[in-house]
Amino acid sequence: MVKPSQELLALARLHGVQLEHRDGFGQVTVPSRDTLVGILQAIGAPVGEPGDARDALREAHTRSEARTIAPVSVVFGSDRRLELGPAAASSQDPVEVRLTAEGGEAREWKVEHTSTRNGSWIELPPDLPTGYHRIAVEDPWSGGGTGGRDGSEGLLLVAPERAYTPLGNEAPPGDRERAWGTFLPLYALRSARNWGAGDLTDLAELARWTAELGGTVTGTLPLFASYLDEPLEPSPYAPVSRLFWNELYLDPTALPEWATASEARDMAGRAAFREDVERLRSSDRVRYRELAQLKSRIFDLLAAVWEGGGGRDSPAFRNFMEHRPEVERYAEFRAAMELAPIRSDGERPAWWQEGIPRELRSHRRALRHLYVQFRFHEQMRELRSGSPSQSAGLYLDLPLGTHPHGFDPWDQPELFAEGAALGAPPDGFHEGGQNWGLPPLRPDTSRRTGHQHLRDILGTLLPNSRCLRIDHVMGLHRLYWVPNGMDARSGAYVRYPEEELYAVLCIESHRHRTALIGEDLGTVPPGIRETMSRRGLRRMYVVPFERSEHMPEGLGPVPEGAAACLNTHDMPPFARYWAEQGESEPAERALERLLAHLGESPAGLVVVNVEDLWLEERAQNVPGTWGEENWTRKAARDLETFRRDPSVLRILHTLDRKRRGMHSGDGGTPPDEPTTRSRAGSGHGEAEG
């Protein structure tokens, strides 16, 4: 095996590639030369020939040494120290600074800078507003002026020290949030009125019911668009885009056009159509292709009515387009994918590189996708418009990546590393490692764009969320890349600019008053949870991960403010888990006792999987497996049934009283801890570095 040269190692380190890591077995792994070359090529570094690494390294150092300011700089809270680049160290002259605030206000000033062996910096004014600002520093060291050459300008992120918390960071213990909520995948939500999968009308009903019982959030899996035709991929964690919604969840009968769309209502009223709906509704599995085709026929008719009535000229739509102009390209992309899709062997159509032909861009399917995104936006706004006492806020989910043939990689190819895929190194559950097939975001390109893609994603989710769960929060720090054509064991970790990403999260969470929760399950490298705590991201507390016979009470303490639950969608339901543990205590009693314990804990949020309340044993997803078993199973009970179930209501009433601190006479079980035999594992691990 050819060893990597010192220049190649240095270039990899410069691009954030870790030169060793521990896998899930604790074994130290050193990436091979081929792995490093594959990842560097995916990042965009020119390393095709043996001498390329030396030249690329020299060029990178030259660019770095010429910078007076980083492409992105961050100041948190009251800190106003702005680090300067290497070019600043050679002079003690005052520097001139020009700042253009996000709102357009411009200011200029001259300031002394400090240079030591550890770097150079200036102090910024204390009154800078939170947000994204352009900043330029005069470059007297090379005779340039403000903004006169590359390296003298950058983006300045002025961020709150911590993400938004509803009652503030300094609230006394008695006033800290003690919320609870419900969870159910929306596709799994049965009702007597939907057409074969839960929709936004059902979600609104579930949120209202949760609020009536005292809950404040209703959680579900990601609601982003999925491929429901070709290539069929219903997984909510491989979306077409992390910017647009899944039209499957749009309720046609709740749209304004329904009242006047006689052709659509006639179609829906025909016996054959009603039979199709009843068959899809009564199925125990979501039949994605059939349901998507059924709804698409109706949406085509509704879109035509909307356009014929001047929908594109309405103030609401013009406002929508002003804030989301990329929706037009998305609609054209979806139409093209339906008419000229990816081939069965994975080869992309010619238009992927050459551009979408006019006849595909103007097709009625493009109008349909434009229409459903606008109306989905409107229905989400209506869903969140109710008061907290009338409707629980949404607890939404941000998936880690995007489908490799999705809109985001097509629309911004320079942002995605097409030569690699995200995954995980070997562990006890996946001895060969994992390749998730998701193209990684390039950290260098993300920086050059001021992390605009992340800001756009948050701009889609946060206005509609009271809480946002960030899947695999370790990805803010580093991600495991597997070069194309290589085994998943042959990957390496690539670091991301974590402080900048946390700054974006803090800014956006305050703007939209949304709490952030990081999915930190599995083996979490040292320092990540400390950073989460410092930046105000709540960690997750999942009972099977916290049980151990080595702990005096059998269950670890619940961290202050954490999001606590009995399981996640990637784990067996509670009844199945309890049976697998071989416990003698009945599952129903254990469930009520553990929920009561979580209710009395200092958790900021306790989330209850609705299916656990009737002791469901079938999982929604089994990591590492593919097929109809995952992401298709409907709940055994419909909304109309379980919302009236006495045992369901009793458990949630008890949890509500526990959360409110009403411990006496509530009929709850004592909060004594269970004793178990062993710690449960997870299929969503993260090796140490």
* Mean pLDDT along residues 200-218: 96
92 has pLDDT over 80? no
Counted residue by residue, the chain has a size of 689
Helix (H, G, I), strand (E, B) or coil at 182: strand
* Mean pLDDT along residues 334-345: 91
Q: How far apart are CA 17 and CA 40, in angstroms?
A: 8
Q: How far apart are CA 466 and CA 396, in angstroms?
A: 8
Q: Across the strands, what pairs with 110?
A: 96
Distances (CA, A) of 505 to 103, 378, 451: 19, 25, 11
* Mean pLDDT along residues 436-457: 97
Confidence band, pLDDT 50/70/90 cuts, at residue 551: low
Distances (CA, A) of 320 to 312, 325, 376, 445: 10, 8, 11, 27
Q: Are 426 and 25 in contact (CB under 8 A)?
A: yes
* Mean pLDDT along residues 108-117: 84
Query: Across the chain, what does the average pLDDT equal?
Result: 90
105 has pLDDT over 90? yes
Take residue 104 and report the two structure tokens written for it: 């357009």
State residue 218's pLDDT score: 97
671 has pLDDT over 50? no
Confidence band, pLDDT 50/70/90 cuts, at residue 595: very high
Q: Are 73 and 155 in contact (CB under 8 A)?
A: yes
564 has pLDDT over 60? yes
550 has pLDDT over 90? no
Query: Pick from 24, 168, 163, 73: which is nearest to 531 by CA?
Result: 163
Confidence band, pLDDT 50/70/90 cuts, at residue 93: confident
The pTM (predicted TM-score) of the whole model is 0.93
State residue 151's pLDDT score: 67
Q: Label residues 230-255 b or e (16+ Cβ within 10 Å = b).
A: eeebbbbbbbbbbbbbbbbbbbbeeb
Q: Are 433 and 426 in contact (CB under 8 A)?
A: yes
Confidence band, pLDDT 50/70/90 cuts, at residue 89: low
Confidence band, pLDDT 50/70/90 cuts, at residue 623: confident
Where in 409-562 does DSSP place strands (E)? Answer: 420-424, 434-435, 467-470, 478-483, 492-495, 515-518, 540-542
DSSP state of 522: S
- What are the pLDDT digits (tens) for 392-440? 899 999 999 999 999 999 999 999 999 999 999 998 878 899 999 999 9
**Residue showing tokens 């300031």:** 111
Angle, CA 339 vertex, CA 337 and CA 340 arms, to 5°:
65
686 has pLDDT over 90? no
Rg (CA), the chain: 26
Helix (H, G, I), strand (E, B) or coil at 84: strand
Count CB-CB contacts under 10 A for residue 314: 13
Dihedral (CA of 239, 245, 249, 250) sign: negative
Dihedral (CA of 215, 222, 615, 634) sign: positive
Higher pLDDT pick, 168 / 162: 162
Higher pLDDT pick, 671 / 88: 88
Distances (CA, A) of 658 to 214, 263, 547, 649, 661: 11, 52, 21, 14, 5
Distances (CA, A) of 318 to 315, 322, 364, 366: 5, 6, 20, 17
683 has pLDDT over 60? no
Question: 96 φ, ψ to 5°?
Answer: -100, 135
Q: How far apart are CA 511 and CA 524, in angstroms?
A: 29
Q: How far apart are CA 532 and CA 517, in angstroms?
A: 9
State residue 547's pLDDT score: 84
State residue 94's pLDDT score: 84
Q: Label residues 137-173 b or e (16+ Cβ within 10 Å = b).
A: bbbbbeebebeeeebbbbbbbbbbebbbbeeeeeeee
Take residue 157 and report the two structure tokens written for it: 């992120």
Q: How far apart are CA 237 and CA 406, in angstroms?
A: 12
State residue 410's pLDDT score: 97
DSSP string, 304-372: HHHHHTTGGGSHHHHHHHHH-TTHHHHHHHHHHHHHS---TTSPPPTHHHH---HHHHTSHHHHHHHHH
Query: Pick from 213, 179, 172: which is nearest to 604 by CA?
Result: 179
State residue 176's pLDDT score: 64
State residue 548's pLDDT score: 73
Q: How far apart are CA 9 and CA 3, in angstroms?
A: 10
Angle, CA 604 vertex, CA 603 and CA 609 arms, to 5°:
80
| Range in 237-246, 300-309, 548-557, 589-598 the model is least confident about | 548-557
Question: 496 φ, ψ to 5°?
Answer: -120, 155
- Give the helix/strand (H/E) hosting 111: strand 106-111
CATH ID of 78-159, from 2.60.40, 3.40.50, 2.160.10, 3.30.70: 2.60.40
Confidence band, pLDDT 50/70/90 cuts, at residue 487: very high
State residue 150's pLDDT score: 56
* Mean pLDDT along residues 538-565: 86
State residue 324's pLDDT score: 95
Q: Label residues 316-343 b or e (16+ Cβ within 10 Å = b).
A: ebeebeeebebbeebbbbbbbbbbbebe
State residue 643's pLDDT score: 97
Query: Pick from 141, 291, 312, 167: which is nearest to 229 by CA?
Result: 291
The type of residue at 367 is: L
Q: How far apart are CA 686 and CA 250, in angstroms?
A: 35
Confidence band, pLDDT 50/70/90 cuts, at residue 66: confident
Distances (CA, A) of 623 to 386, 429, 439: 36, 9, 19
DSSP string, 112-160: --EEETTEEEEEPPTTPPSEEEEEEE--TTTT--TT-STTSEEEEEEE-
Most trustworthy range by pLDDT among 58-72, 214-228, 379-393: 214-228
State residue 90's pLDDT score: 63
State residue 51's pLDDT score: 77
385 has pLDDT over 90? no
| Domain boundary assignment for the chain | 6-63, 78-159
State residue 114's pLDDT score: 84
Helix (H, G, I), strand (E, B) or coil at 452: helix
Axis crossing angle, helix 262-269 with helix 271-282, rounded to the nearest 10: 70
Q: Are 210 and 181 in contact (CB under 8 A)?
A: yes
Most trustworthy range by pLDDT among 39-53, 109-123, 281-295: 281-295
Helix (H, G, I), strand (E, B) or coil at 254: helix
Distances (CA, A) of 97 to 88, 286, 448: 13, 58, 20
Question: 97 φ, ψ to 5°?
Answer: -120, 135
Helix (H, G, I), strand (E, B) or coil at 492: strand
148 has pLDDT over 50? no
Question: 554 φ, ψ to 5°?
Answer: 85, -5
Q: How far apart are CA 379 and CA 376, in angstroms?
A: 5
Query: Pick from 561, 659, 686, 678: which is nearest to 213 by CA?
Result: 659
* Mean pLDDT along residues 270-286: 98
| Range in 49-58, 230-239, 530-539 the model is least confident about | 49-58
Higher pLDDT pick, 685 / 65: 65
Query: Pick from 591, 633, 596: which is nearest to 614 by CA?
Result: 591
